[in-house]
Amino acid sequence: MNTNNNLYTVIYTTLIVVVVAALLAFVSQSLKGKQEANEKADTISQMLTAAQFGTKAEFQKIGNAAVLAKYAEEIGQAFTVNVSGEKVQDLDLTKVYSPKELKRQNYNIKGGANKTGEPEIPVFVFKNGKTVVPIYGAGLWGPVWGYIAFEKDLKTIAGAYFDHESETAGLGAKIKDDPAFQAEFVGEKPAFSEANVFDIVKGGSPKEGDAEIMDNKIDAITGATMTSNGLDAAIDTWLGAYAKYFTGAAPACEKACCQEGGEGECEGEKDCENKEKETILNPIFKGNPITVLVLGICSSLAVTVTMKGALVMALSVIVVTGISSLILSLLRNTIPGRVRIIVQLVVVAMMVILVDQILKSFEATYAIDKQLSVYIGLIITNCIVMGRIEAFALGNKPWPSFLDGVANGAGYGMILLVVAFFRELLGSGTLFGIDILNRFGYVPNNLVILPPFALILLGCIVWVQRSIQKDLQEK
């Protein structure tokens, strides 16, 4: 069979695309309901956190059903208003606004080519008198959003919670991860009558002696100027849109309570076992993809802030690398040479999307998927995945290829977990979110959470490995 024939290439490529598209569409539709339920519960827990009914960590522990029940118990009314502060319509009390819906309203508020209509922005009023409103805008690397709660007077901030898609861990990500930053909002009073409704600035509020004056300013996050500016702009834009509602200029306010070698046969069962053993152990120790081949460095710096994130990323890479290697080894004699890399990319991309869809569909992994953000999708660019497919899977039988993929993923994951162990333990005093050191008076070292410390840890691991394995030392 001539696999380089033009007609064969077109038909083969079309079939691959159709099969992958059909599979992804089926998985997407099958898991859509679970994903939407997780997103809804996550959004509600953010609102409840802003309104001071508990912390985000507490709501994650009790599960989606309990979060929904708590919301149903506490919510009093929900409706939308326009920028004139006038009530537009009542909302079903089960209705919440996802980040995608907030993005659309953000376009409507700001105007321009992306505007789809007049702004209709939501107001959520709880039975305890607190009113919660959303905000949405652009951070450094992607969107930021959140919820701000107001006291009964509709002037004083009662609480706030913010989230993001891809801000830098240990820096911009503090808008979500640092309770102290969110606590700064409590007691502040936005200046609804001014163009600059709220400020996130270096130094924060002015002080009289040791007492901070409660006004419309809080301290920006050190080292995260762009994220702070983006969140500042988002708050100004949205609270500005709510200004007339909050200042009582319209009737609505009155209702407020508001991812070798050739193919050969082993001689004898023992040789086969030895070869399989080498295939499995070599990538984990002597030929580790990170410490020896220096691959996958970027993600090993980005996702090792916590053990949970590192574990999920490790398992994701193992699954993607192992199954992609298996599939492409099965297809290796049928792939047209001219589209070899394209076929590899399609298969790897399919696996990455499947993994991401699955992570978003389970309550236990939804929050971690959000934390890992773009790094799950970027597995497709991980040199370990494409490198092992090109170097091993396309020249070996399916079973050895699968073992090679899994072993390389495991070698990668092992280093991630070692680095994450020290970063979370020393940086937060916890492991898998469980307090280990803080109970003994340990003060977390925020420097450990930053990417440079991860690079230092990797350097130490490389040094230890090469001190033990002398053959790895350069002559």
What's the pLDDT at 364?
86
Q: What is the DSSP string of 360-392?
A: HHSHHHHHHHHHHTHHHHGGGG-HHHHHHHHHT
Instruction: Check: CB of residue 392 under 8 Å from CB of residue 333.
Output: no
The pLDDT of 342-348, averaged and rounded, is: 94
pLDDT mean across residues, the chain:
87
What's the pLDDT at 214?
54
What's the pLDDT at 257?
37
The pLDDT of 43-67, averaged and rounded, is: 94
At residue 397, does pLDDT exceed 50?
yes
The pLDDT of 202-207, averaged and rounded, is: 64
What's the pLDDT at 273?
66
Longest dimension (CA), the chain: 87
The pLDDT of 143-155, averaged and rounded, is: 94
Question: Cβ neighbours of residue 147 under 8 Å, at least 6 residues apart?
Answer: 46, 47, 49, 50, 51, 132, 133, 134, 135, 160, 161
Question: Cβ neighbours of residue 443 under 8 Å, at least 6 residues apart?
Answer: none
At residue 267, does pLDDT exceed 50?
no
Q: What is the DSSP string of 389-422?
A: HHHTGGGS-HHHHHHHHHHHHHHHHHHHHHHHHH
Strand pairing category for 207-208 and 199-201 = unpaired
Q: State the pTM of this model.
A: 0.76
Instruction: Check: CB of residue 305 under 8 Å from CB of residue 427.
Output: yes
| Residue the block writes with tokens 């700001």 | 110
Instruction: Check: CB of residue 178 under 8 Å from CB of residue 56.
Output: no
CA angle 271-272-278, nearest 5°?
A: 90
In sequence order, what are the beta bridge partners of 430?
435
What's the pLDDT at 291?
87
Nearest to 185 by CA among 147, 139, 237, 223: 147
| Residue the block writes with tokens 């789809």 | 116
**Collapsed DSSP state (helix, strand, coil) of residue 339:** helix
Could you count the other beta carbons within 10 Å of the beta carbon of residue 214?
13
> Rounded CA gap, 452 and 257, in Å?
48
DSSP state of 168: P
Render the burial of 201-210: b for 16+ CB within 10 Å, e for the rest: eeebbeeeee
Spell out the domain ranges in the chain: 42-255, 266-472
> Of all helices (H) and strands (E), which one includes residue 332?
none
Please give the C-alpha separations between residue 55 and each of 175, 351, 425, in angstroms, as whole numbers: 14, 35, 22
Write out pLDDT tens, residues 167-188. Answer: 888 899 999 989 999 999 999 9
Render the burial of 232-271: b for 16+ CB within 10 Å, e for the rest: bbbbbbbbbbbbbbbeeebebbeebebbeeeeeeeeeeee
